[in-house]
Amino acid sequence: MMLIECPWCGPRNETEYGYGGEAHVAYPADPNALTDNEWAKFLFYRKNPKGLFAERWVHSAGCRRWFNAVRDTLTYEFKAVYKPGEPQPIATTNAPAQGGTK
Amino acid sequence: MADILPEHPEFLWHNPDPKPSYDAIIVGGGGHGLATAYYLAKNHGMTNIAVLERGWLAGGNMARNTTIIRSNYLWDESAGMYEKSLKLWEQLPEELEYDFLFSQRGVMNLAHTLGDVRESMRRVGANQLNGVDAEWITPEQVKELCPIINIGDDIRYPVMGATYQPRAGIAKHDHVAWAFARKCDEMGVDIIQNCEVTGFIKDGNRVTGVKTNRGTINAGKVALCGAGHSSVLAEQAGFDLPIQSHPLQALVSELHEPVHPTVVMSNHVHVYVSQAHKGELVMGAGIDTYNGYGQRGAFHVIEEQMAAAVELFPIFGRAHVLRTWGGIVDTTMDASPIVSKTPIDQLYVNCGWGTGGFKGTPGAGFTFAHTIANDEPHELNAGFSIERFETGHLIDEHGAAAVAH
Amino acid sequence: MAEQVLTDISALRTSPLAHMAFALQQGAVAGERGVSARELAFTTQIGLRAEPGSEAHAALAAATGVGLPASVGEVAGNAEGTAVLWSGPDEFLVVAPEGTELFDDLVAALGQSAGQVVDLSANRTVVELSGPSARLVLEKGCPADLHPRSFGVGTAIATVLGPVPVLLWKTAEDTFRLLPRASFADYTARWLLDAMTEFASPEVD
């Protein structure tokens, strides 16, 4: 059981949250311009690192807001939570670059 | 139960040091890795091969699954793969000369809503066209096959019928691994434990070996059977996999007299249960939703699964949970596995079995060995390529496979 | 044909827990381990949305008469009159006694600014749980920290009770208001009755 810090509501039980998978995945600017391979990569491929991972959560039973988190997928420890639009505070292999703002 | 577990010798396989070079290396010493090695040696004459296991033999999902074996999947590709697997299961105890308590006690998948009923009947029809022994049974027949089940219509998810596959069942998972390991060892396969792959050696786009914590090992071919760690291996090798790893939990009760003669699964309420040979009730839960490599999940998942189990089986209300645990399952977006060549020459991958890898053990080994030996997929796994995510030819088995994801 | 228009429909209204009133009354536990639950039906509830710092936010804050809460847990106003609960960084719920005429004023205050004023009076009912054991009852199924050091009088949060999403509002020492959505009210009431039962018996050491 994880105690997850909502950026707006503070620490709440894991059961109040929903999981949204990898964070900072941009919707293609022009889907029609993509090759089949690029479209497949967008649609079906997400990073799956063992270690730090930037990912999305939603506080479903609380303020119902989406936010981002950096969590260790091995220890499950949350290293940071941050609101959409805020820079990613800790670098991960799945984020485009440290300080990304998507 | 009264079944006596078979005796086996103290050592079933040797513990060799890695040789400098092999014709093929299989990464991952679980059920699928061992089955792949077995069929490579037996069907394709490749005996200068090694299985590398970073921990101990069959200590991952092979030690953590709920041992259900069935083949009642919807699509032709899946029916082909899982039915081949079931047919292999039926001959393996004799072939491996090891009674691993394969028990064809039948498996039922319950339907709790009219939507379930329609989906189940459609699947039964598809199964029958593919020669899979599936049938639709009424709630009364469910009760006859499994008397402790509650088929009352006053519960949250009443039993409205079930699909039933009589040839399906369970087997003793660790004995299956030992049986494969012994035969592999007899045929000259090196089973190397505590040997973690840390990188891949490539010559251009061709893999030529692996780096391990026990040194570099050259190989003509490398085959990945890393289950939950498939993405980690693929990243080391330099290609992408459409895999997400999740914790999946299961549990056993303390030992009981025989009360549950078959296997009952319910996709809708996320529970699957059988009674193992020793007498413990074996139950599986749904996946924890987040990505995880921790081999553990949260208790609320177990709690929800137990609530469903107790409603279906009121007498379980008096049973005690003895032990819970978690494994790491590698899931794909279409709930079907990947048994495939990769973008890298002579590198092959078998993964994405999600929550249902145990039943596929011999089928995966059989088709994957063929793929490795011939550098071409067998007709049974041709559809399970990585390319399907690009061509759009998905094999959506969420109805048949997705108790948990 | 003469037009027949029913102008006063209040006699036809049925609150989400009307059918449970007797059961809740019977389930009350008296004494030093006491706890009881009752429905506060037909409260006025208005959902507001406005970005803090915006013109709309300022206008709505003025129009409620009690302001708008600034962050999680805060309640503007009080339980006897008009109160505004924080339900998200730009989302608030006005809860006021039955018949409170506030909706038109809020709509007028918002005007054409970006924001929202929605009558949500039928969305949730209110269950008041009170007595020395009220917190113990809630702690059986609410994962939030309800200890007074972090959940004092005048605190309200969105959380869950068992599987039911609720707004939980501590209105006095030993008194909580639960706001489940109408269709979950029956389950919530039965859940509470079940959780309250043990307090009718002496504490087991």
In angstroms, the first-to-last Cα distance of chain B is 32
Nearest chain A alpha carbon to C74: A9
Question: Which residues of chain C does A16 touch, with a Cβ-Cβ cutoff of 8 Å?
Answer: 143, 159-160
* C7 band by pLDDT with thresholds 50, 70 and 90: confident
Answer whether C157 touches A (CB < 8 Å).
Answer: yes
Beta strand B347-351 with B206-212 is: unpaired
Quick one: residue B28, left, alpha or beta (phi over 0 = left, psi -120 to 50 = alpha)?
left
pLDDT of residue C8: 83
Out of A12, A13, A64, whose CB is closest to C88?
A64
pLDDT of residue A102: 40
Question: Which residues of chain C does A15 touch, with a Cβ-Cβ cutoff of 8 Å?
Answer: 143, 160
Provide the whole-model pTM.
0.93
pLDDT of residue A98: 45
Distance from CA of A92 to the nearest CA of C (A): 28
Segment C174-201 shows an average pLDDT of 97
ipTM over 0.90: yes
pLDDT of residue B8: 65
Q: Do A63 and C72 touch (CB under 8 A)?
A: yes
Tens of each residue's pLDDT in chain A, 102 residues: 799 999 999 999 999 999 999 999 999 999 999 999 999 999 999 999 999 999 999 999 999 999 999 999 999 999 999 999 999 999 998 875 444 444
Nearest-angstrom CA–CA distance, C125 and C128: 10
pLDDT of residue B344: 98
- The residue ranges of DSSP E strands in chain C, in sequence order, are 36-40, 44-49, 75-77, 83-88, 91-96, 116-119, 126-130, 155-161, 164-172, 175-180
Nearest-angstrom CA–CA distance, B134 and B333: 26
Amino acid letter for position B403: V
Beta-carbon count within 10 A of B127 CB? 22
Q: Do A63 and C160 touch (CB under 8 A)?
A: no
Q: Do A19 and B391 touch (CB under 8 A)?
A: no
- With 70 as the cut, is the pLDDT of residue C159 above it? yes
Q: Do A64 and C72 touch (CB under 8 A)?
A: no
Distance from CA of A82 to the nearest CA of C (A): 14
Nearest chain B alpha carbon to A18: B289
Segment C97-118 shows an average pLDDT of 96
Give DSSP secondary structure letters for A3-35.
EEEETTTEEEEGGG-EEEEES--PPPS-GGGS-
Q: Do B244 and A48 touch (CB under 8 A)?
A: yes
Among residues B339, B330, B341, B338, which one has the least CA distance to residue B221? B341
Nearest-angstrom CA–CA distance, B253 and B324: 9
Q: Do A21 and B291 touch (CB under 8 A)?
A: yes
Q: Do B292 and A73 touch (CB under 8 A)?
A: yes
Chains within contact range of chain B (3+ C-beta pairs < 8 Å): A
Distance from CA of A102 to the nearest CA of B (A): 21
Give per-residue pLDDT as tens, C18-54: 999 999 999 999 999 999 999 999 999 999 999 999 9
The three-class DSSP label of residue B312 is helix
Question: Which residues of chain A does C72 touch, with a Cβ-Cβ cutoff of 8 Å?
Answer: 8-10, 62-63
Average pLDDT, chain C: 96
Give DSSP secondary structure letters for A54-68.
EEEEE-TTTT--EEE
Give every CB contact of residue B100 below 8 A, 6+ residues apart in sequence. B6, B92, B93, B171, B172, B175, B176, B178, B179
Among residues C86, C71, C84, A71, which one has the least CA distance to residue B289? A71
Q: Which DSSP letter does residue B16 get?
A: P
pLDDT of residue B2: 46
- Mean pLDDT per 10-residue segment, chain B (405 residues): 63 93 98 98 98 97 96 96 98 96 96 95 97 98 97 92 98 96 97 98 98 98 98 97 97 95 90 93 92 94 91 93 96 96 98 95 98 98 97 91 56
pLDDT of residue B267: 84
For residue B388, how far is the Cα from the chain centroid? 21
- With 90 as the cut, is the pLDDT of residue C1 above it? no
Distance from CA of A63 to the nearest CA of C (A): 4
Q: Which DSSP letter does residue B62 get?
A: G
Out of A15, A43, A46, whose CB is closest to B300?
A15
pLDDT of residue A99: 43
The crossing angle, in degrees rounded to 10, of helices B173-186 and B31-44 is 40
What is the percentage of chain C residues whose pLDDT exceeds 90?
Answer: 92
Distance from CA of C173 to the nearest CA of A (A): 23
| Element spanning B105, H or E | none
Nearest-angstrom CA–CA distance, B9 and B178: 11
